[in-house]
Structure 1
Amino acid sequence: MRDLLGVPALRAYYPAATLARLGDEMVAFTLVLLVLERTDRPALAGLTGAAYALPAVVSGPLLGTWLDRTAARRTALGLNQAVLGLVMLSLLFTAGHSPAWTTPALAAVAGVTLPMVSGGFTSMLPSLVPSQLLPKANSWEAASFGAATITGPAAAATIAATVSVEAAVIVIAVTATLSIFAIARLPALPAALATDEREPFLASVVGGLAHLARTPRLRASTITSTMLMGSVGVLLITLPLHMTALGAPRSSAGYLWTALELGSVTTAVLLGRLQTRWRPELVVMVAVAAYGLAMTTWPLATTFPVLLVLAAATGLFEGPMLPAMFAARQQYSAVALQGRVSTTAASLRVGAAALGQAAGGLLVPIIGTHAALLAVAISLLAAAVLGRLSTPRDATPTHTSHSSAL
């Protein structure tokens, strides 16, 4: 870590990115709790979570193309946080007190710029970090995501249980506001694409999508990680509902996410350099398959403490996936494509999570939470298999600008 701290830009980058992600990681869980508490309607809770995430499917490729062309990244990241804070405060007055459609509609407003929180930040790394430090930077980038995912659901669960879910909503708004000040300390970066290198905007959008689809190893990583997020969306609905079977309050599900991410961050940092020994897309697929196998034990847990331990152990298998996913984007994409690739891939992941939440809200009450947990585990194994099937054995990278370092 000492060599990374020697890069001045990173001393500003990690606090800003982590603080922004902290608020974002509280949102999905808090929205579910808020809607369930005020309406007791799982389908509406799932629809609201989906509405928060689905706009990113369309906006991600557009935002990524714009990011590759602009020097105003800090402004864009700050505006995203301002919109999030305003929407969360608005939900305090509308959720359960107005027509049902207003809650998902407001959530959708915040979701339009959601890819900024993940892809918008991550796409900056190749421009901030020397290529020889990228593997380590990716590991700490995964730790940034993990720290936010550890703290966010736990904070939301604790605040909802000890104060109220409304207080958790207010904390999200405050966190979003504080992140704007942290983002202001980020260095200004020039546009990745010079004016004379730019093709028409829509052609550039299509080019980013085509690059993801036509690059076999990048495609394999993207398919696997996107399906993973679809499973996570189902889990966001399943876990709060499953708590009653274990004699625990719904808010306790937040601690399961914390345990899962504690395990994940541990191996993300300790084993992140696996991406330098094996191709990153293989690390992604193996990690997701191991994650699914470990999750098959979850329906067997009969008490909350046992499930908590299983969640922490499961996270250990997931850990190497995130650094490897970042490495796949960097290895197989030119610097001028990083904005498009990062936000487009992020939008696919967010969209899959949204569909998972919507499906979970409809199906979990019908099939039961035990069956839903097993279905999530099986879907993770299927994600790894489909990722492998999408990669021909003789596939070669389309671009390997950082491969010598990675």
Structure 2
Amino acid sequence: MLRRYWAGVIAARTGDESSGPALLLLGLGSSNAVPGSALLAGLTIAAAAGGPLLGAALDRARSPGRVLAGALAGYAAGLALVTVAFGRMPFALVLATAMLAGLLNPAVAGGWTAQLPPLVLRERLPRASRLDAMTFTAASLAGPGLAGVLATLAGAPLALAAASALIAAAVPVAWGLPRRTERPPAPPKLRAAALLLLRNRALRRATVTTTLSYAGIGMATVCYPVLGVHRLGGAGPGTLLLTAMAVASLVATTLPRPGPPDTAVLLSTVVIGLGLLAAASASGVVLLIAAVALTGFGEGPQLAAVFEVRHREAPAAGRAQVFTTAASVKIGGMAAGTALAGPFAGTSPAACLCVAAGLQLAAASGYLVCSAGIRRPSPARGA
């Protein structure tokens, strides 16, 4: 079952990672970065609202895999409708479709990860968390590259259609995830996960740090295709910069990590900021790729460390709510970054990357601020 889990995760997350660049390239096809960034921002903003509700449904279900499968199917269908409707229907309606699909987006991130603990032994969960984070990195490696190649060869609509098909391919795997053998314990109230993210020091600082950090990464996601137009001769090659970042991220995630995951969250955020700042000032192709790789060396370990913190601190009865709510908040930060970057990147992608680097500094500062105060006991340990 675990092998099928990994196969489903990789397919769904590769499709999700390719959908963002495909949406951006779809907009760039109209010679304007704003439509693509607006679609991506609308999809990610809606995800911030959908996560808590989806998490509650997963925690309450005797067959959470079937709830997950339904969410994945709806997400894939929404992306397919955007593919068909863009350029044929009013943009406001296309944007509304993207936002409806975005409500189900947390299924790809937190929804899958919350199903991992029952499939592995408790002592193997830290290693499984790193492998789970590596699936994000592998998807970040394959997804943008797939979108860039397909968009270059056959157009952005085909790239977005392929993203939808990959997500749909994961539906049968999710449907087949094991049912709970016992009636699930009563999950906490819908707002409980949000309160836990605020009151638990480790979860609070990890959430604040990654939310601000992903706002900067969202800006970079919009900047790289535009930067490709300015420095690499086209938006497609610019999208491949995301692949270079993912390669470095994958390598960094496989390396042994000294110290606790909490410290890794802070240090990796600083590395991301340095990489974004270097990309803004890089004068040649080699230096630009090196700077993007440095960003990846921070992003991969940051994600793996955050997963470990959440598994450690979240109570079993509300694990899905904690993961999907935290993912929604982080996605909301990324949405804010993509929305800000749309018109900004078109004017000056270098200045946009400098702002993204500044957000990493704000994220590191937020970590230090949230570290103050008395530590509250972990509900997971208390249980």
Q: What residue number does 1:375 align with?
A: 355
Q: 2:297 aligns with which of 289, 306, 316?
A: 316
Q: Deviations over 1:319-368 (max 9, x none)?
A: 321111011111112111211100000011111111111111133334x1
Q: What residue number does 1:215 align with?
A: 200
Q: What residue number does 1:119 align with?
A: 110
Q: 1:229 aligns with which of 214, 238, 241?
A: 214
1:263 has 2:254 as partner:
no
2:229, 2:36 → 1: CA distance? 17
Q: 1:16 aligns with which of 8, 16, 20?
A: 8
Question: Normalising to structure 2: TM-score of the pair?
Answer: 0.94
1:26 has 2:18 as partner:
yes
Q: What residue number does 1:3 align with?
A: none
Q: What residue number does 1:253 align with?
A: 238
What is the deviation of 1:87?
Answer: 2.3
Q: What residue number does 2:329 align with?
A: 348
> For residues 374 and 360 of structure 1, do their structure 2 counterparts lie closer, same or farther at Cα, with a shift above 3 Å needed?
same
> For residues 291 and 54 of structure 1, do their structure 2 counterparts lie closer, same or farther at Cα, with a shift above 3 Å needed?
same
> For residues 356 and 190 of structure 1, do their structure 2 counterparts lie closer, same or farther at Cα, with a shift above 3 Å needed?
farther
> For residues 58 and 92 of structure 1, do their structure 2 counterparts lie closer, same or farther at Cα, with a shift above 3 Å needed?
closer
Q: Deviations over 1:118-146 (max 9, x none)?
A: 00011112222211101110110111111
Single out whichever of 79-88 and 26-35 deviates more from structure 2. 79-88
What is the deviation of 1:112?
Answer: 0.8
Q: What residue number does 2:309 align with?
A: 328
1:320, 1:270 → 2: CA distance? 9
What is the deviation of 1:100?
Answer: 1.8
Single out whichever of 133-142 and 177-186 deviates more from structure 2. 177-186
What is the deviation of 1:153?
Answer: 0.3
What is the deviation of 1:191?
Answer: 7.1
What is the deviation of 1:395?
Answer: 2.5
Q: Deviations over 1:230-249 (max 9, x none)?
A: 11221122111112221421
Matched positions, count: 383
Q: What residue number does 2:145 align with?
A: 154
2:46, 2:235 → 1: CA distance? 27
8 Å Cα contact 1:293/1:381 also seen in 2: no
Amino acid at match of 1:327: E
2:349, 2:8 → 1: CA distance? 37
1:25, 1:198 → 2: CA distance? 31
What is the deviation of 1:310?
Answer: 2.4
Structure 1, unaligned stretches of length 5 or more?
1-8
Question: Normalising to structure 1: TM-score of the pair?
Answer: 0.89
1:136 has 2:136 as partner:
no
> For residues 402 and 229 of structure 1, do their structure 2 counterparts lie closer, same or farther at Cα, with a shift above 3 Å needed?
farther
